[in-house]
Amino acid sequence: MALQQQNARKVLSKCLIALGSNLSNEIGASVDLVEAAIEDMSSNGLFAVEISGFFRTPAFPIGSGPDFVNAAVCCETSLSAESVLAALHKVESKLGRTRNERWEARVIDLDLIDYDGAILPDPATFSQWRELSLTQQMKRTPDQMILPHPRVQDRLFVLIPLKDVSPDWHHPVLGLSLDEMIESFDATARAEIQRLG
């Protein structure tokens, strides 16, 4: 039986998920919504192995809304990458997420950052999305899954919580460590990400 459990564990994939909230609703404030999302992920086949601290971060783009509460989770799952994304959208919907415009304030935002180091759908498509200008990022949304998340290296509010849950993670395309990506930001930007509690 122990061997069967060990073999079953080997087929689980590891995924990194970023969470954020900068609105409240009947469930509670942003911290409550992030906690509820983490709890609800397990009932959708995403089992948290590590949960980061919670961080207060300025809204992105600057001035687009109240400060966010951000966190990250390292999960194990038997789901495919596509099913993980569907599960995250299900959790968002349950918690009251609506999608009216790009980068609006939101009650919860769940992003699949990495799935076992997969580069999806292929390196060329990933590079197209990674190299979009900020103006294009604000207008365009991919119609297919892009992994790793094409903006992860640009978002300190994702990188710092990720360091809590997967400190040895390297970007599967850029080859950069979390430390290298975090150090590429100036000290002022790093100081704006405040650990809560």
> Given this model, what pLDDT does residue 38 score?
97
> Given this model, what pLDDT does residue 156 score?
96
> Given this model, what pLDDT does residue 161 score?
98
In a domain, 5, yes or no: no
> Given this model, what pLDDT does residue 89 score?
95
In a domain, 101, yes or no: yes
Q: What's the domain range around 188?
A: 11-195
In a domain, 67, yes or no: yes
- C-alpha closest to that of 61 among 26, 22, 88, 91: 22
Q: Give 10-residue mean pLDDT values along the chain (197 residues).
A: 52 96 92 96 96 93 84 97 96 84 77 97 91 73 88 96 98 97 96 93
In a domain, 188, yes or no: yes
In a domain, 4, yes or no: no
In a domain, 47, yes or no: yes
In a domain, 62, yes or no: yes
> Given this model, what pLDDT does residue 4 score?
54
> Given this model, what pLDDT does residue 35 score?
97
Number of folded domains that form the chain: 1
> Given this model, what pLDDT does residue 100 score?
62
> Given this model, what pLDDT does residue 106 score?
84
Q: Which CATH number does the domain housing residue 74 bear?
A: 3.30.70.560
In a domain, 2, yes or no: no
